[in-house]
């Protein structure tokens, strides 16, 4: 099933209600696009971008390395090294485009799939794997790269982003904040509340919704009757739909929304229209709920291929470049593989670490009991 | 003058004022906390003096209030959030339990969550549904949260200061039916440790352990029992997470008897936790099983029935008699 046919799957309205409506909503509004699936550069009146060949190659490299990292993580899960993996396959342009629009002092609130954004923030990819291997629940210092911990409860982080952005505004800083979430998460109350708060406090936050068409097995039309980006209007801020497989458009649109936030003009909702090429996670079986031809149709819009075509057509990269990048990808995969295999299980006593910042009598008591219990085995072993 | 006689609500107000004054990172957030000063006037006058940027009227969205407070804490602020009534904290329960409580641990201790959530709780004011509940056990059960409740003005003043200074999330339960009770506050005192229980009344025959609104009832019960020649010790626990078991143990080793009193339903309540732990610690000192007095396993009743539902003097004294009869 192609995505164009999703309109046909929408629940039918009665004739009466359709005639009452002023104009039937188009379910396929114009996407902001700067690079077509065929790799042709096109113009958009509102969004322009001018990148050097070096910068274009940089975006390409980011996408390729992220995809390779993701593939390696999927393989590691299959080999039993990770308990679970949430693949970003197909969403590289949305993540690298938006991620590269950020300044160092901006702050990112991701879900559990933002491996490409993490890459742009300089987070060591092996850091992302701890929670999927089961050695921690996050495990990095969010303040090092201004990249918050992954959030599993869908939608929660949009409120954290909004509050953080309210703080940025209070500080008189001109940084911006970006919150990532999915089309499924858009149904959560927290997302609606974050829209309300950010609008009424004019918070410098960008909501970046990756509409990858599916929330596990539920299609976007199970979440909304209007195109997602149009939600923003009801909250009083702009919404824009961008081709989520076009890294240039994602960069341009996010940059513009971040600048708007920095100027003190408040939030923007970006809907990156994209596709999750793989399973929801390694535990998921998408054959149960979607057809292969849908994926095939989206493969023709692959974010990496189209930039590659463009780079080649413009003469910005030659075969030697692509070969070297393949080599770099393999090196990255090797490093990740080795790091994961070497990742130690946490010390038993870590259960009691950092439950409280200021300590807690019960935790102290139970830690001591647990230590004594553990020690009793050591004694038996002697 | 350092010592003033203040209603509990006013002591909280002074405490918030001092916190706003001393630390520019402290923020007050909630529904109606600004111009109105909160439905119980606990934040009265604070917005006028500290501005809308520090004392923030929020949209009517509890998850939003706590969720954005988490974000503000991540940015270095110390939000003090007001939930208007006990029964309205549940839309925020997700943010409190899945996010606020765990953030510090998930970041391996690299970030702190200095958020205080103030909740007027408990019954006895003749309110409508969702305005009289005692959900403290639901929070005390969650690792990462601290749960406290003052019973008098001095504790209200000092415990709130200490909660705001804490780098951990604190659920601060305010006994709403004690808001108007006056007692001494020494604003120059050096407060004791936040989680230490207080002996509210010295006695030798039996120990009553209570917190928040029930402390007063227990002290009155002790006075009534004294007329019958019974010497009742009353502990004000002050903190439900952690619980100062050492102080309870010391008292029970002396009296040999313990009754835990709270407004919340007895079933799975904090009394169950205390009974279990004290039985473990004081098995050979106990002369009677630990008894519990509290609410029933039923929705908080309509106002005309709340006197039947809430533990009062008679039910506490009845439990004292039952314990002493062993
Ligand atoms: C509150 C909550 N409910 C359910 C889940 C289980 N769950 C995890 S991801 C997911 C689908 C999310 O879909 P979407 O927001 O579109 O993001 P995507 O995974 O497609 O990137 C669900 C239902 C959850 N994590 N949190």
Region B154-182: mean pLDDT is: 98
* pLDDT tens digits for range B192-226: 999 999 999 999 999 999 999 999 999 999 999 99
| Nearest one of B163, B122, B155, B222 to B19, comparing CA atoms | B163
Q: Residue B242 CA to chain centroid, in angstroms?
A: 12
State whether A141 and B105 contact (CB < 8 Å): no
Predicted pLDDT of residue A328: 98
Helix (H) or strand (E) holding B107: none
State whether B71 and A164 contact (CB < 8 Å): yes
Residues of B with Cβ-Cβ distance to A139 under 8 angstroms:
106-108
Active site residue B130: no
Question: Nearest CA of chain A to the CA of B30: how many Å?
Answer: 12
Predicted pLDDT of residue A380: 66
Under 8 Å between Cβ of A193 and A235:
no
| Distance between Cα A121 and ligand 1 center (Å) | 23
In this structure, what DSSP letter does residue A24 have?
Answer: P
The rounded percent of chain B whose pLDDT value lies above 90 is 99
Nearest by CB: A193 against B61, B99, B168: B61
The rounded percent of chain B whose pLDDT value lies above 70 is 100
Predicted pLDDT of residue A28: 62
Residues of B with Cβ-Cβ distance to A123 under 8 angstroms:
none
| Distance between Cα B172 and ligand 1 center (Å) | 32
Full pLDDT tens readout for chain A, 382 residues:
333 333 333 343 333 333 333 333 444 668 999 999 999 999 999 999 999 999 999 999 999 999 999 999 999 999 999 999 999 999 999 999 999 999 999 999 999 999 999 999 999 999 999 999 989 999 899 999 999 999 999 999 999 999 999 999 999 999 999 999 999 999 999 999 999 999 999 999 999 999 999 999 999 999 999 999 999 999 999 999 999 999 999 999 999 999 999 999 999 999 999 999 999 999 999 999 999 999 999 999 999 999 999 999 999 999 999 999 999 999 999 999 999 999 999 999 999 999 999 999 999 999 999 999 889 987 765 5
Under 8 Å between Cβ of B268 and B137:
yes
* pLDDT tens digits for range B221-248: 999 999 999 999 999 999 999 999 999 9
Which residue on chain A is closest to B170 by alpha carbon? A356
State whether A141 and B76 contact (CB < 8 Å): no
Which residue on chain B is closest to A170 by alpha carbon? B53
Under 8 Å between Cβ of B104 and A354:
yes
What phi and psi values does residue A236 have, to the nearest 5 degrees?
95, 25
Predicted pLDDT of residue A190: 98
CB atoms inside a 10 Å sphere around CB B120: 25
| Distance between Cα B113 and ligand 1 center (Å) | 25
* pLDDT tens digits for range B112-123: 999 999 999 999
What phi and psi values does residue A106 have, to the nearest 5 degrees?
-75, 160
Provide the H-helix boundaries in chain A: 6-9, 15-20, 53-78, 92-99, 115-120, 125-128, 130-133, 142-145, 156-171, 189-200, 231-235, 247-262, 292-299, 303-314, 319-342, 361-381
B52: which residues sit within 8 A by CB, 6+ positions away? B34
Question: Nearest CA of chain B to the CA of A147: how many Å?
Answer: 11
From the candidates A110, A143, A166, which should be mutated to test the interface with B, based on the most B CB atoms within 10 A? Answer: A166
Nearest residue (CA) to ligand 1, atom 7: A154
> Among all chains, which residue has been given the structure tokens 């992954």?
A150
Q: Are strands B3-7 and B182-186 parallel, antiparallel or unpaired?
A: antiparallel
Q: How far is CA A45 from CA A32, A34, B149, B267, in A?
A: 10, 10, 60, 66
Q: What is the mean pLDDT of chain B?
A: 97
- In this prediction the ipTM stands at 0.90
State whether A358 and B168 contact (CB < 8 Å): yes
Predicted pLDDT of residue A153: 94
> Among all chains, which residue has been given the structure tokens 């609008």?
A199
State whether A360 and B91 contact (CB < 8 Å): no
Among A27-31, A263-267, B259-263, B306-310, the minimum mean pLDDT is found in A27-31
Predicted pLDDT of residue A5: 37
* pLDDT tens digits for range B6-56: 999 999 999 999 999 999 999 999 999 999 999 999 999 999 999 999 999
Predicted pLDDT of residue A30: 85
- Bridge partners of A211, per DSSP, are A273
Predicted pLDDT of residue B1: 62
């Amino acid at each position: 099933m192609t995505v164009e046919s999703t309109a046909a799957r929408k629940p039918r309205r009665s004739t009466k209600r359709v005639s009452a409506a002023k104009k039937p909503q188009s379910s396929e509004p114009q996407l902001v696009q700067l690079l077509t699936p065929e790799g042709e550069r096109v113009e958009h009146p509102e969004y322009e971008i001018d990148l050097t060949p070096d910068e274009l190659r940089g975006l390409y490299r980011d996408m390729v390395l992220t995809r390779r990292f993701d593939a390696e993580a999927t393989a590691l899960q299959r080999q039993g090294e990770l308990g679970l993996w949430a693949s970003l396959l197909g969403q590289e342009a949305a993540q690298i485009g938006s991620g590269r629009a950020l300044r160092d002092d901006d702050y990112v609130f991701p879900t559990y799939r933002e491996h490409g954004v993490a890459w742009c923030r300089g987070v060591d990819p092996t850091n992302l794997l701890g929670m999927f291997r089961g050695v921690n629940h996050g495990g990095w210092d969010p303040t090092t790269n201004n990249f918050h911990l992954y959030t599993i409860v869908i939608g929660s982080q949009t409120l954290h982003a909004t509050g953080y952005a309210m703080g940025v505004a209070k500080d008189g800083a001109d940084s911006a904040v970006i919150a990532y979430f999915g089309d499924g998460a858009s149904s959560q109350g927290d997302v609606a509340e974050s829209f309300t708060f950010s609008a009424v406090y004019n918070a410098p936050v960008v909501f970046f919704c990756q509409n990858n068409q599916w929330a596990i097995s539920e299609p976007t039309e199970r979440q909304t009757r209007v195109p997602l980006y149009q939600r923003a209007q009801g909250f009083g801020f702009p919404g824009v739909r961008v081709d989520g497989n076009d890294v240039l458009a994602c960069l341009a649109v996010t940059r513009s929304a971040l600048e708007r936030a920095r100027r003190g003009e408040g939030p923007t909702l970006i809907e990156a229209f994209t596709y999750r090429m793989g399973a929801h996670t390694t535990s998921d079986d998408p054959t149960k709920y979607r057809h292969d031809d849908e994926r095939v149709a989206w493969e023709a819009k692959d974010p990496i291929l189209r930039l590659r075509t463009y780079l080649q057509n413009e003469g910005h990269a030659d075969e030697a470049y692509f070969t070297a990048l393949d080599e770099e990808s393999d090196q990255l995969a090797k490093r990740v593989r080795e790091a994961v295999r070497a990742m130690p299980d946490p010390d038993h006593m870590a259960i009691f670490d950092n439950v409280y910042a200021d300590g807690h009598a019960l935790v102290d008591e139970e830690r001591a009991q647990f230590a004594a219990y553990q020690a009793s085995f050591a004694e038996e072993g002697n | 003058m350092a010592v003033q006689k203040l209603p509990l609500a006013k002591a909280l107000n002074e405490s918030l004022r001092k916190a706003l004054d001393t630390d520019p990172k402290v923020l007050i957030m909630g529904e109606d906390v600004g111009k109105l000063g909160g439905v119980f006037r606990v934040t009265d006058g604070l917005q006028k003096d500290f501005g809308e940027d520090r004392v923030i009227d929020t949209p009517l969205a509890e998850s939003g209030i706590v969720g954005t407070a988490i974000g503000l804490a991540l940015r270095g602020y110390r939000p003090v959030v007001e939930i208007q009534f006990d029964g309205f904290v549940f839309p925020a329960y997700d943010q409190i339990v899945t996010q606020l409580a765990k953030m510090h641990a998930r970041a391996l201790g690299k970030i702190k969550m200095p958020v205080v959530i103030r909740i007027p709780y408990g019954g006895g004011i003749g309110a409508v549904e969702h305005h009289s509940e005692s959900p403290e056990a639901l929070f005390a059960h969650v690792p990462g949260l601290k749960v406290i409740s003052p019973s008098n003005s001095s504790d209200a003043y000092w415990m709130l200061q200490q909660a705001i200074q804490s780098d951990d999330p604190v659920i601060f339960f305010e006994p709403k039916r004690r808001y108007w009770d006056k007692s001494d506050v020494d604003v120059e005192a050096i407060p004791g440790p936040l989680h230490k229980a207080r002996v509210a009344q010295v006695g030798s025959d039996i120990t009553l352990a209570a917190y928040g609104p029930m402390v007063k009832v227990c002290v009155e019960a002790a006075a009534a029992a004294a007329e019958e020649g019974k010497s009742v010790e009353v502990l004000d626990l002050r903190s439900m997470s952690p619980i100062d078991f050492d102080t309870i143990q010391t008292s029970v080793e002396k009296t040999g008897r313990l009754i835990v009193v709270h407004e919340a339903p007895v079933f799975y309540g904090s009394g169950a936790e205390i009974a279990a732990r004290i039985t473990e610690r004081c098995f050979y000192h106990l002369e009677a099983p630990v008894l519990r007095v509290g609410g029933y396993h039923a929705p908080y009743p309509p106002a005309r029935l709340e006197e039947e539902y809430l533990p009062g003097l008679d039910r506490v004294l009845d439990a004292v008699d039952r314990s002493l009869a062993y």
